[in-house]
Chain A
Amino acid sequence: MELPSAKEVGAAANATLPRMGVRGITVEYPGVRALDNVTVDFTAGEIHAIVGENGAGKSTLMKVLSGALTPNAGELLRNGEPSTLRGPRAAIRAGISMVHQELNLVATLSVAENVLLGREPTFLAGIAVDRSQQRERARALLDMLGAKMDLDRAVSELSIADCQYVEIAKCLASEAQVLILDEPTAVLGEHEARKLLQLLRRLRDEGRAVLFISHHLDEVVEVADRVSVLRDGRLVARFQRNTLGMLQSEDGMIATEDTLAQAMVGRELGSIYPPKGSAKSGATAAIELIEFGAADRSRDISVTVFPGEIVGIAGLVGSGRTETAEAIVGLRRPVGKIRVAGAERTFKHPRAAMRHGVTYVSEDRKGRGLHISLSSVANMTLPSLDAFSQFGGARIDAVAEHSVVMRWINELAIRCARPGLPISSLSGGNQQKFALARWLETRPNVLIIDEPTRGVDIGAKAEIYRIIAALAQEGLACIVISSELPELIGLAHRVLVMRQGSVAGEVTREQLAEPGCEERIVRIASGLRAERQETHE
C-alpha cells in the first residue's frame, strides 16, 4: 500500500540533518530590526508553522529563506552546510519554493503552461514546446495533488483555490524539497482550507519540509509538527509534537490556540501610550456609518464616532478594514450610508471627502500615502495645495507654503533638515509624521489613520500616539486601523474587531483595561469560539 511506504520515507528523512535552517539571522531595515538573532531548523518530513502578529518578522524570515533578502548577520544552512542564496532563482534551483500570498501566475497562460513555466518540455533541440508532454506532466503533477481542472483553461478563469493548486504544482515541478507557504488558507473557504491542509500533510509524508505561515491558530495546532512563535523579530517560543502527539514547548507548556495567542502577543504595555481623554458627550456625531461597507469587500458596518473619540479597528489582514476606510473617502465603491456631522454624504473622490473634513491616511506609505520621490514640501502640501494657490492656481505662494511646512516640522518634532530634498531621505517615523501632517493641514473633523506606526521605530511610535491623543483632545474624531493590538488597546476608547468583511465584535473601554484583552481580540479576529466574558450581550 502507498500510505505506510510514504511514512517510511518520512521517517527516514527525519533521521537526516535538517533540510534547511537559519542561524542567528538578523535583518535590519532603516529604523527597524525586523529579525533579531533568529535560529530555526526545518526538517524533512515535518510541517513547521511560523506564527506571530503582523510585523513580527514572519514575512522577512520567509524572504530570507526564499533568497529574496540577504540578512545583515547570521547564516543560512542547507543540509547542515552554510550556504548562500543569491535571489529567488537560486533558491528554486536549490529545491526551495515559495507560494506567495499574492500568487505569481501568468493570468493569460493556461493551467498546463503555468505549471511548467520555465521548464517546458521541448523538442527540436529546444526550440519548440512539446505540448502533449507539457500537458501530460502537468496532469501528473495536479493528479498528485488531487486537483481536478481543465489543463487548457486560462489561469485568469480559475478560482483562487485552484490557482493555489497550480502554484503548488509549479513548486513540485521544480522538484522542491522545501515548500514555503505564506498564509495559504487566508483566501480560502472552510472546505477548501481543509483540503489544502490535507495536501500539506501528504507533501510532508512524502518527505518534504513544509513551512507555513498562518494566522489561523486552530489550523496550526491541528496540522503543525513544530511551531515557532515570532514576536518583534525575536523567536520567543518553540513547540514540538511530543510522544503523545501534543505540541509542547521546551518549558513544558502545551500549545493550544490560547497559549499560542498568548505567546504571540505576550508583551507588556509600556508607558508609550498617553492617557486616554474622554469623548465629547452630547455633541453631534462626527461621522456615522450605517450598514456601510466597500462593495464586495465588507458589509453591514454600523459605527458612530464622536468628536474627541478614538475608535480602533482590529482584524486580520484581509478582513476588509482598509477597504472599508477607502470606501468612506471615495477610493472604492461604497455600499450603505455615511453621515458626516449629521448630514448624509457620498464621496466620489478623496477631494470631496476632504472638503467635508473626512480624511484617510493610507497604510501603504511608500505606494499610496506619500510620493516617495518628491520633496518633503511637495508631499506636505499636496492635499492642501489650493490654500496656497494664487491667481487661480497660476502661482503657489512659496513663502506661505514654507512657513506652513516649518510649522508642522516644529509642531510634530519632525527631523527634517532640508524639506526641499526627496522625502525618501527621511526615516520611516518622520515620513509618517509628514503623511499625517499633510492631512492635518486640511483641518479635518474626522481622521481615519491606517496602520499609524507601520515601519516606525519605537521612539517615533510614542510621539505619533501622543499626537493622535492630543488631536482627539482637541475634538478630532479618530478611527485608527491597526494590526498592532497593543497600539489599539493603548490608544483607542473602544475597538471594533473585523472578520471577513464585517464587524465580528466590539471591545469596550472597560474591557480594554482588563488583562487578557489582547487574546480576546485575537480570538474574535480569528473566529474562535466566544469565550466566557464574551457573552454579556
Chain B
Amino acid sequence: MFGYRVPAPNEALLISGRKQRGADALQYKIVTGHGVFVIPIFSRASTLTLAMQEAEVVEDCFTQQGLTLAVQAVIAFKVGDDHESIAAAARRFQGDQSQMATLVGRIFSGHLRSIIGSMTVEAIIREQQTLGEAILDASKMEMGRIGLAVDSLQISSIDDKGANYIKALAAPHQAKVNQDANVAQAAADQASAMARQESNRFQAEYARQTAVAQAEYQAEIDQAQQRAAQAGPLAAAKALQAVLAERALVAEKNAELREAELIAEVVKPAQAEAERITTLARAQADATKLSAGAAAAEGRIALDQLVIQQLPDLLRASAEGLQGANLTVLNGADGLNGVVASLASQGLAVLESVRRGLDREAAGPDERPSTSTDVTPTR
C-alpha cells in the first residue's frame, strides 16, 4: 500500500531501478525480513522464494565396480539465505521460478551419476559418511555456485536390474540367520519332542499303575464275590451233609430193623429146617453106608474071580507088547529073573487097579447124598 512492501519470511524482495551505492554493490537491492518503500514508476519489486523445494531424480548409474543400478533419489534444496546466493539464484531463476525444481532435477541427474560412480554398492548401502562426502564433492559445490543450498539428498531406492548383486550381499547374513533359525527351531522341536515323549512315558507309567491297582482291586472284588457266591452252596452242602448224616442213621436203623426181621423171619426158620434136613440126611447116610458096605462085600468076591480068569490073557497081551521090541537085557541070570518078577508084579498092579475101578463104579450112586449133607448153612 502506497509503495510499502513487506516480504514473507520465506521470500526475498528484489528491488531494481535505483542505482546502488558502492563500487561492488549489486545492481538491485535485496530485502529480507522487513518492509521497504518501493517508489512507483522508478522502482520495481519482485520476489524470490527462499522456501525449500524438492526434486526427484530417477537415473541409471554405474557404480565404482561397473554394476548398473537404477537409482531413485530425492533432493531437497533452497536458495541460500545470504545475499550473494540470493543474487546468484535470482539471476538464474527469477524469470520462471516454477521451473526451478525441474532444472535442478536435470542438473542433479549428472551429479547423481557422479556420486554413484565414486562409490561401491556396499558403501551406498552402509556408509552414510562416504555418501555425504560424495554428495558434497559432486553436487554441493556446483549447486552453491548457482546460489542453491542442498539441504538433503536421500537415495530412496536402488535396484540392480536383475543382477541379484544386492540379494547376494544379503545371502551370507540371510543364510546365517536361516541357520540360526533352523538350529533354534530344531532345538525347540527337540525340546518339544523330549517333553512330549516324557509326557507319554509318564502317561504310560500312570496307566500301568492304574491298571495294576485296578487289577488288584478287581482280584479282591472277585475273591470276595467268589466267597460270597460259594457261601450259599457251602451252607447248602453243609445242611445237606447234616441231612445225609441223619439219613444214614435212619438207614442204619432201618438195616438193623430189617436184619432183625430177617433173622426172625428167615434165618431162624431156615436154621431150624437145615437142622432138620441135616439130621434126616445123617440118618439116611448111615443107612446107605451100611447097605453099601454089604453090597460091596458081595460084589468084591465076584470081581476077584472075574479078574483071575482074565489074568492069563492080560499077561499074554503084555508079552506080545514086548515081543515086537528088540530088547536085550544084559544083566545075567539075575537080570532075567528080575524081568520075570517085574512082569508078575505089574500084572498084579493092573489087576488091583481094575478092581478098584470096578469098586468105584459100584459105590458111585450111593455116595452122592452123603456129600451133599456136609454143606450146612452158616447163618
A and B physically associate: no
Footprint of A on B, CB under 8 Å? Answer: none
